[in-house]
Chain A
Amino acid sequence: MTASLLQAPRLHRTVLANGLTVLVLENPVADIVSARLFIRAGGAFEAPHQAGLVSFLMGLLTKGTETLSSMAIAETVESVGASLGTDAAADYSVISLKTVSADFPEIFALAATLLRQPSFPHDEIDLERRLTLQQIRSMQEQPFTIAFNRLRQDMYGEHPYALPGIGTEASVSAITQQALVDFHRQHMRPDNVVVTIVGRIGPEAALAQVEQALGDWQVPAMPPPALTLPSVTTTATCSMVAQDTNQAIVMVGYPAAPVKHPAYAALKLINTYLGNGLSSRLFVELREKRGLAYDVSAFYPTRLGLSQFVAYIGTAPENTATALESLRFEVERLQETVLSDDELQAAKNKLLGQYALGKQTNAQIAQLLGWYEILGLGVEYDQQFQDMVAAVTVLDAEAVAQEFFHTPCISLLGPEEFVAPVAQAQA
């Protein structure tokens, strides 16, 4: 399996005069070009009263420019059978597109226009607001989402990661056209943008496209806004949502290292060991050996700020107490129990193997490279991450478990008669 994208001599990295970074990787195999336009601004840049602003803004980028209506934009994309979408994450935002190679110039030029010249039309703001508010209400239909939103709130308090990226009913109701224009002016600027292009296109041609569409974009004199995140003091909490569901949801979350922290690779490895795949510890102990769940897993998102390590299970309501105890046991056990060399090596093989499998399509590669670049890790991180994982020792894993796995926040959801006693026992 290819160890590193950098070993491929095909990767070209260029910084334009206006500070915009371009990454091009030629891959002639399929007649497809995938591109991403990353912006160094995500939900983490929102003030609490602005929650959901970036997500809202990204949604509106495709809904009108100074010269094109929402429908004209849709028709341009759909008439050539391309795909074009936007997304807002916690630490960045992105416009994604995919075309057959002949259509790339036209659709890329459109994406660049959307990024530079959105007009945020009032009627589109109203429609987007209506759809977004309903989407926020619809989150209440999913037990997992309710439990996770609670957990996140408990863990992060006033930190912007506390709220779902889509925002709240109150904050989305208050978004104005002026707020969108202001945020766009502050953050959407060439030195805050990384463009990745992967597929059947030569580096010269790709670079020429970017120059033409984005080369004359002026950098404002002011430096771009820096990200300042409040510090978080997590205290152990237990929150409960009573619902007459068929399954109870049990979640435990521990504050965890940001991506640039030395513990990052070891925590990713522990996450793999505990929660990734059919041979993971949680799956084997709680599902295979005890039949407690269909879905039991763990996740540890990559974040510039304080992250979280979450383990969760969906189980029959009468198993709530057992499930909570077992989840905590499996995570916190790693403070005292040193993994065997075999267990560690198995987790490394799994993490690195699946990492390699995540680079199969042009879109996956475009996402990974641009993501590293926009987070400030650089494309070299593709190799560095693999080296760091390979270097983790069993003692590193233990030390990291001791550092992070001691103050869990707990979130429970399920029928009151089963869940309430468990929550009370935690108090």
Chain B
Amino acid sequence: MNSVDFPASVIRLENGLTLIHQEIAATPVVVADVWVKAGAITEPTEWAGMAHFLEHMIFKGTDQLPPGVFDYAIETQGGMTNAATSHDYAHFYITIAADMLPQTLPYLADLLLHAAIPADEFSRERQVVLEEIRQAQDDPDWLGYQAMSELVYQDHPYGRPVLGTAEILQQRSPEEMRCFHQAHYQPDKMTVVIAGGIPLEPTVAMVKHAFRGFASPPPCPVAAIAPVPTLPGVRREILHLPRLEQSRLTMAWLAPGIDQLETAYGLDLLAAILAEGRSSRLVRELREDRQLVQDISAGFSLQRDCSLFTIQAWLDGKDVDRVEAIVCDRISELVANPITEAELARAKRLLCNDYAFSTEAPGQLAGLYGYYGTIANADRCLSYVPTLQRYTSAQLQSLAHQYLTPLRYVSTILRPA
């Protein structure tokens, strides 16, 4: 399974669990990051929010480990622990002194494999999740992002909030959550990444020992098969929000998922050419020269089924239509005119260095391997730099032509109420 240049070992254990390990000799720190293919896309629609709520409940202990014991054990040994849930995954990590891993990893494994999900904790923690939803609803950028996602993804689960809704969460039961947990927290859906100051051999033994005794998966409602969305034309939505001091314009294009990684990386380059840094096209023109925006950024977010290319501007409400038209023009120019060699070289260097800068600490590396390991294969991240380097101006032009058309995109506009 190991490619020649990939600095990490990828090992498939007998029970189907994937272990990714990289020793970083110079560091006294180790990160254990467990990725599970149990994000929001695995939820049936009527269970929306279950994956994220479960992430909270994992920390509520097992029959062996009362609530709070895990957090206390990790933190009083000077470590840190946390978790996150997205559409494609949930992941749980600890960062700790390397010599403490043998004592703490079994705790993490016990939580993940044998979460008890007690009924009283379930009701109490639901209040916490409802507070999380309330807090998000006071954040205009979260509201804008959700509106845009819904418009662009339609019936695909990427279109609904990972947090779920208060109405749905009120109807869920601890039994349903246990079923969801046992169905999805299975070895074939789990990747354990260990990076830092620990050699391979003890790591393998430790992980084998800790991650065993999985429950047999019960029958559990499955997510409906969601068609990959398409955009027939331009969809526009305007939201009026209270307490907003500045308008926002978000334009989004659908892009291929993990099965077309080269395309995805090319779109990363196009985003950098358009709006990464003060000398990029859109920042230079719209913020520095014409002063039509407070800020403008472009981003490409890689997801398993289908990715998203976005351009977002913070601006005065009166300039929204004008800026949207200019962005469409500049997108068309990407197709019509070749990108200069200097611009291409600049974008490549920015992204390649970003990649180097974002793999400096064990936690960053573990996150990268876990993410790729979950939505594709861990060693696929290795192709990032060489793929970027190979891109020519003509190839990018044709990518822009195929994916970034002003005829098919979504535009979400936030205006002060």
Asked if A424 is at the interface of the complex by the 8 Å CB criterion, the answer is no
Report the stretch among A67-75, A179-187, A230-238, A253-261 that lies at the interface: A67-75
Which residue of the partner chain A has the closest CB to B59? A278
Residues from 47 to 83 in A contacting B, C-beta threshold 8 Å? 70-71, 74-75, 77-83
Give the Cβ gap from B122 to chain A, nearest Cβ, in Å.
11
Q: Are B356 and A31 in touch, CB under 8 angstroms?
A: yes
Q: Are B246 and A134 in touch, CB under 8 angstroms?
A: yes
Q: List chain B residues, Cβ under 8 A from A32.
A: 356-357, 360
Asked if B67 is at the interface of the complex by the 8 Å CB criterion, the answer is yes
Asked if A407 is at the interface of the complex by the 8 Å CB criterion, the answer is no
Contact string against A for B residues 73-94, beta-carbon threshold 8 Å, 1 for contact and 0 otherwise = 0111111111000000000000
CA distance A80 to B80 in the complex (A): 35
Q: Count contacts on B: residues with CB < 8 A to the other chain.
A: 70
Q: From the candidates A82, A141, A245, A246, name the one contacting B245 in the complex (CB within 8 A).
A: A141
Q: List chain A residues, Cβ under 8 A from B74.
A: 279
Contact string against A for B residues 275-293, beta-carbon threshold 8 Å, 1 for contact and 0 otherwise = 0111110001001100100
Which residue of the partner chain B has the closest CB to A146? B243
Q: List chain B residues, Cβ under 8 A from A426.
A: none
Q: From the candidates B72, B132, B244, name the one contacting A279 in the complex (CB within 8 A).
A: B72
Q: Are B78 and A291 in touch, CB under 8 angstroms?
A: no
Asked if B171 is at the interface of the complex by the 8 Å CB criterion, the answer is no
Q: Are A79 and B342 in touch, CB under 8 angstroms?
A: yes
Which residue of the partner chain B has the closest CB to A139? B245
Q: Are A360 and B357 in touch, CB under 8 angstroms?
A: no
Q: List chain A residues, Cβ under 8 A from B284.
A: 71
Interface contact tally, CB-CB below 8 A: 173
Give the Cβ gap from A117 to chain B, nearest Cβ, in Å.
19
Asked if B232 is at the interface of the complex by the 8 Å CB criterion, the answer is no
Residues from 266 to 305 in A contacting B, C-beta threshold 8 Å? 277-279, 284, 287-295
Q: Are B138 and A246 in touch, CB under 8 angstroms?
A: yes
Asked if A98 is at the interface of the complex by the 8 Å CB criterion, the answer is yes
Q: Are B76 and A349 in touch, CB under 8 angstroms?
A: yes
Q: List chain B residues, Cβ under 8 A from A291.
A: 124-128, 131
Assuming the contacts A143-B138, A245-B138, asked whether A349 and B78 have C-beta atoms less than 8 A apart, the reply is yes
Q: List chain A residues, Cβ under 8 A from B138.
A: 143, 245-247
CA distance A316 to B127 in the complex (A): 10
Q: Are A30 and B356 in touch, CB under 8 angstroms?
A: yes
| Residue among A127, A135, A284, A291 facing the most chain B CB atoms (10 A cut-off) | A291
| Residue among B132, B353, B354 facing the most chain A CB atoms (10 A cut-off) | B353
CA distance A360 to B29 in the complex (A): 8
Q: List chain A residues, Cβ under 8 A from B24.
A: 29
Asked if B113 is at the interface of the complex by the 8 Å CB criterion, the answer is no
Which residue of the partner chain B has the closest CB to A80? B349
CA distance A137 to B245 in the complex (A): 6
Assuming the contacts A31-B356, A141-B140, A279-B71, asked whether A74 and B278 have C-beta atoms less than 8 A apart, the reply is yes
CA distance A98 to B358 in the complex (A): 12
Which residue of the partner chain B has the closest CB to A83? B357
Q: Are B140 and A98 in touch, CB under 8 angstroms?
A: no
Asked if A314 is at the interface of the complex by the 8 Å CB criterion, the answer is yes
CA distance A244 to B173 in the complex (A): 31
Asked if A138 is at the interface of the complex by the 8 Å CB criterion, the answer is yes
Give the Cβ gap from B6 to chain A, nearest Cβ, in Å.
17
Q: Are B78 and A357 in touch, CB under 8 angstroms?
A: yes
CA distance A138 to B29 in the complex (A): 39
Q: Are A1 and B131 in touch, CB under 8 angstroms?
A: no
Q: List chain A residues, Cβ under 8 A from B352.
A: 81
Asked if A13 is at the interface of the complex by the 8 Å CB criterion, the answer is no
Which residue of the partner chain B has the closest CB to A79? B346
Can you identify 27 A-B contacts, CB atoms within 8 angstroms?
A: A1-B78, A70-B288, A71-B279, A71-B288, A78-B276, A78-B350, A79-B349, A80-B353, A81-B349, A81-B354, A141-B140, A141-B243, A141-B245, A141-B246, A142-B139, A243-B243, A246-B138, A277-B80, A284-B68, A289-B124, A291-B125, A291-B126, A350-B76, A350-B78, A356-B28, A357-B29, A357-B78
Q: Which positions in A face B, CB cutoff 8 Å?
A: 1-2, 29-32, 70-71, 74-75, 77-83, 98-100, 127, 130-131, 134-135, 137-138, 140-143, 243-247, 277-279, 284, 287-295, 314-316, 345-346, 349-350, 352-354, 356-357, 360-362
Nearest 8 CB-CB pairings of A with B: A353-B78, A291-B127, A81-B353, A81-B349, A74-B278, A278-B71, A294-B132, A294-B131
